[in-house]
Chains A and B, each alone.
Chain A
């Protein structure tokens, strides 16, 4: 029998017996970041494609959620910090090797973009809106004139943000569950999917919703493909990677992951969306809500389970 134990009483809060330094704040932050990235990407995308008119909800309405999500996400991140009064240290330096630094700076750029985006549509969203200051009015005019450029910037930063939510985890090679490059695209796709779900939920335009549903289906299929790939990679990997995968293949996270994330959060809404496209009547809110809950759970599970996986002891 092999036995490995601490004999000096080590039992550090949040470290032992299993690492649990990140609680609900980080997965929520990742979820909201991915969601905002999805919304902003498609808003930018349809402006660049010149489909502003056909995709009203995507371009104008849904983006209102993005800055709110980003602010809430940042606030969650702030709550996660244990040395809060020093948070400003994040913005005294750019650390290219640190995903946390990347995230902080990306959010620093994309959040104002999101706010400006929403502001530039305020007059269309709220009839009779008045900026009251001429400077602001001038700025608005300038933004509207250069909206194409803003759209491009937003798309690029949305992708960075979406990928970042996965890379934040995958950069930690000490946690075998996270340490795979699939996590970047997987979180990007998943984030875009939750963004699409939100827009679909909001949109009142049947045509817009069908179009978005088709895209979402593609994303869900890619996501399922990436998840399969993820586990194939683990199973073909080192012992620590296999142990990580086993948490989901018979281990404590098996049911929550496969039932709630994969079946109820991906496959089931995908079927419903397909049925809707084929013309069957499906409650409009059901598929998006399932995708959103699935996406949220996915992040909670990944953060929780990843912290358990390790090299030693």
Chain B
């Protein structure tokens, strides 16, 4: 058994790859051989292939235009697609860079140990790599049961492995998208409205009269159709209220910007609720007919006046009242945007609850311009045997801790992997598909310990992301433009489906995720679960069940179906039973009360930065999707590194200049691996700093991303866990500046 797993940088790959990449460099560097044709090519000379984007989770449908030499020239949005309306965002347009990134994983890799104990990756054949993983899976099944093989997944590639592991007998899976991102919102809205908010969120921004954004920075997150609809809302003269300690892009386009003191959002929300109730501005009809617990709520918020909130949030009482009245005036056409990455302070489910309650008081549910009633379509399963019933699943890991979690929690899976936590159910091996855990999760030490503890890690990715350095086997996955994938089925205003098919053959020796999963499945004797030669057969079978076909979908890419569940909005006075304990919108959550949590949100004070420290706020840039696009040649061209935003007053205090490189150190003494440039800007408060997430890669093989900027995740060592659903609150970390290289300092001390 391995006790320690070195982090291997894939740059240590054999000489063959090095020689290859040198050759590539030479031919590009000297321009001797021109592989790229010049100038624009007219659309008539290009062949479009339907796809849906994999650069982010929005999954916009589009067309990959391939020229006569077999090169993808551009990716353009599908006009019929409600996710993008024919307009991809910069990442979708630049998705082409995922294919032509010369740093891609090119062949399977297997970890080897030299005589001197050092470890390296050896290029391997598919046969060998697949055999090894299948063998390990058999071994784990025999020794510990299949449940001990855990899966970390994200996006469509994860789906194929989810299927594989279910067939194998494991449902021990988690994705950072839940506990490290939008989990609190799911639990909060589910407990309030008995429904999830979905993805794309069912926000009717297009027709709203008032859009309320609380720490949600549309425009910096390019959630495509939402950003498009915000623009429409601006055209329509909608009131936009943005609550953010930072002057975000959305704030710049807003009618009201409330520059709130960080970590005090609940106080503001409760004060808004107070104003709506005590000024009699709430939607009495809605509250009467559909909600439960109004009287409790009224009593609960009695003293939560704007004056009370002013002392906490630093927002003027008059401003709180005025914005509350704006909302009431626009009701029910108000979107209180639930946000997406909402794990901030550990009481996030409660904050999301407050937002849900606010919406309910405004009657802003199921009405035009608020939250519409989404409808999706379901596809029948391709014929396969029933999945075996695992003895335990991710639910058992959460059991007794996070009763209202609706998905597996990544940190729990990590802890279950570490023997000293002594979990009843322990995880012994991992499959990681499409998620770069070291950069997408807080508390890196925990991750490292877990990675060192498990017996085996297999990673599938298209790029040599940091996670691949922890793997025993690395599978190079074909990019989304080179493969078939599951049919996209996200609910929307109209049910719709989208097809992803290969525009070109996979480059290098990469393979589609479905193929890799099937190959492992075959080796495990699970052929009946993978009863096809090509995933296109599955898609065609499913499409025919839906009354279309692969042939038709190849021509149209996206197909819409008529709604079956009734209209998009709730009719006036229409009876509606909510999927909650009381069948009503629960202003007072009976679920929470049952589990011993506050049934109504309360403001709790969170720690504030100590002297000379600043709260770390992180966020997104519109041209990047977290850490996965940092090396994309098209997108790194737009933004190659992040910077740390510092208020001019703070910069003066520290003598920091624009573009000066600093290292960051947090309250626990963690220091960033790389320096980051300072941006001196008025757009950030003096008690906080801001960074775009996803930079500071530590793998040299990422030639464009390595060492560019700093990773905010390295500064997030203090995690405030949400007791309700296990969310990992990450905004309670404070940083200070180091202007000298900390590595040099250490050396000097030694000398």
Hey, which bits of chain A sit against chain B, CB under 8 A? 1, 3, 7-9
Contact = CB atoms under 8 A, between A and B. Distances in A.
B76 to A, nearest CB: 20
Given A1-B682, A3-B681, A9 B639 contact: yes
Contacts of B623: 8
Interface in B666-690: 680-682
B638 interface: yes
Given A1-B681, A3-B682, A9-B640, 7 more contacts: A1-B648, A3-B680, A3-B681, A7-B639, A8-B638, A8-B639, A9-B639
Contacts of A7: 639
A9 B682 contact: no
16 contacts: A1-B648, A1-B680, A1-B681, A1-B682, A3-B680, A3-B681, A3-B682, A7-B639, A8-B623, A8-B638, A8-B639, A9-B636, A9-B637, A9-B638, A9-B639, A9-B640
Interface in B603-639: 623, 636-639
A9 B638 CA distance: 4
B554 to A, nearest CB: 34
Contacts of A8: 623, 638-639
B177 to A, nearest CB: 27
Interface in B545-591: none
Interface string B228-240: 0000000000000
B659 to A, nearest CB: 10
A21 to B, nearest CB: 20
A9 B648 CA distance: 23
A1 B648 CA distance: 8
Top-6 shortest CB links A-B: A9-B638, A1-B648, A8-B638, A9-B639, A1-B682, A9-B637
B111 to A, nearest CB: 36
A8 B636 CA distance: 10
Interface residues on B, range: 10 to 19
Interface string B648-668: 100000000000000000000
Nearest to B648: A1
A15 to B, nearest CB: 15
Contacts of B682: 1, 3
A8 to B, nearest CB: 5
B166 to A, nearest CB: 43
Contacts of B637: 9
Interface string B295-336: 000000000000000000000000000000000000000000
A1 B680 CA distance: 9
A84 to B, nearest CB: 15
A1 B645 CA distance: 14
A60 B681 CA distance: 66
A299 to B, nearest CB: 31
Nearest to A9: B638
A3 B651 CA distance: 14
B220 to A, nearest CB: 11
Nearest to B647: A1
Nearest to A8: B638
Contacts of B681: 1, 3
A8 B639 CA distance: 6
Contacts of A9: 636-640
A1 B681 CA distance: 8
Nearest to A2: B682
A98 B194 CA distance: 73
Contacts of A3: 680-682
Nearest to A5: B679
Contacts of B648: 1
Contacts of B636: 9
A222 B636 CA distance: 53
A216 B681 CA distance: 54
A68 to B, nearest CB: 34
A8 B637 CA distance: 8
B684 to A, nearest CB: 12
A49 B151 CA distance: 97
Contacts of A1: 648, 680-682
A3 B658 CA distance: 10
Nearest to B249: A7
B635 to A, nearest CB: 9
A55 B391 CA distance: 111
A1 B638 CA distance: 25
Interface in B209-260: none
A36 to B, nearest CB: 36
A3 B29 CA distance: 36
A6 to B, nearest CB: 10
A3 B683 CA distance: 10
A1 B636 CA distance: 28
A2 to B, nearest CB: 9
B169 to A, nearest CB: 48
Nearest to B682: A1
Nearest to B649: A1
A7 B648 CA distance: 19
B159 to A, nearest CB: 33
A7 B621 CA distance: 10
Contacts of B680: 1, 3
A17 to B, nearest CB: 10
B633 to A, nearest CB: 12
A255 to B, nearest CB: 23
B31 to A, nearest CB: 13
A292 to B, nearest CB: 39
B511 to A, nearest CB: 33
Nearest to A3: B681
A57 B680 CA distance: 63
A3 B623 CA distance: 21
A3 B636 CA distance: 23
A3 B680 CA distance: 9
Contacts of B639: 7-9
B201 to A, nearest CB: 26
Nearest to B622: A7
B619 to A, nearest CB: 14
A1 B623 CA distance: 26
B647 to A, nearest CB: 9
A1 B657 CA distance: 13
A9 B90 CA distance: 13
A7 B683 CA distance: 14
A4 to B, nearest CB: 11
A181 B38 CA distance: 41
A183 B648 CA distance: 41
A3 B638 CA distance: 19
A175 to B, nearest CB: 25
A1 B247 CA distance: 14
A204 to B, nearest CB: 52
Nearest to B635: A9
A86 to B, nearest CB: 15
A7 B679 CA distance: 12
A9 B637 CA distance: 6
A203 to B, nearest CB: 50
A8 B638 CA distance: 5
A131 B648 CA distance: 77
A7 to B, nearest CB: 8
B317 to A, nearest CB: 29
A67 to B, nearest CB: 36
B439 to A, nearest CB: 21
B328 to A, nearest CB: 36
B629 to A, nearest CB: 13
B750 to A, nearest CB: 38
A183 B576 CA distance: 82
A3 B247 CA distance: 14
A9 B640 CA distance: 7
A190 to B, nearest CB: 38
B642 to A, nearest CB: 12
Interface in B485-517: none
A82 to B, nearest CB: 13
A1 B683 CA distance: 10
A11 to B, nearest CB: 8
Contacts of B638: 8-9
A233 B623 CA distance: 45
